[in-house]
Amino acid sequence: MKRRTLLLMTAAFTAIFISGCVKTTDPTPPVLPTGNFTGTFSRYHLNIATGKIDTITANLTLNLSAATGYVIGGDTSKHAASHGGYVVDGTNVAFSDQTLPPSTVINAPTPTKTHLNGVYQYSYSAGVSLKIQQVGDTLIYLYNMKAQ
């Protein structure tokens, strides 16, 4: 009987010891990109009719703030100057452009310039660079930004 009790106690202490050694980690929250950036925006569009790729490039500035959202400016002849909010999940960043007309407005004009709006994949190196991209079937948006 003593032997059985000793074995059970040893097994229980072993299980407690092993479970204490198992490392549990909470998921690391994503780093929210913030700061001032300058760089280039490129839009690549595959024209299905001709098979050629149309390209637009513009120099932009981007300010990202956790408190106030984003503001984009620079070469507004090719890309819309806009502002709004943004959220990140570690892989994607979603921009909500407040300068676009609501989608419920009947006969709202289609924007002629690209707006920073929607979900993009991103990579961020704090204090160094921010790369944002959105890839579709015939359209690619790339933002290659450097921290200021």
State the pLDDT at residue 104: 67
Model confidence at 87, pLDDT cuts 50, 70, 90, reads very high
Would you call 21 helix, strand, or coil by DSSP? Answer: helix
How many domains is the chain built from?
1
Structure tokens at 15: 């299980």
State pLDDT tens for residues 51-62. Answer: 999 999 999 999
**The token pair that represents 2 in the structure block:** 């003593």
How far is 85 from 61, CA to CA, in rounded Å?
Answer: 16
Higher pLDDT, 8 or 145: 145
Q: CATH code at 143?
A: 2.40.128
Phi, psi of 97 (to 5 degrees): -75, 120
Identify the domain containing residue 70 by its residue range.
35-104+111-147
Average of per-residue pLDDT values in the chain: 86
Asked if residue 142 is part of any domain, the answer here is: yes
pTM for the structure as a whole: 0.77
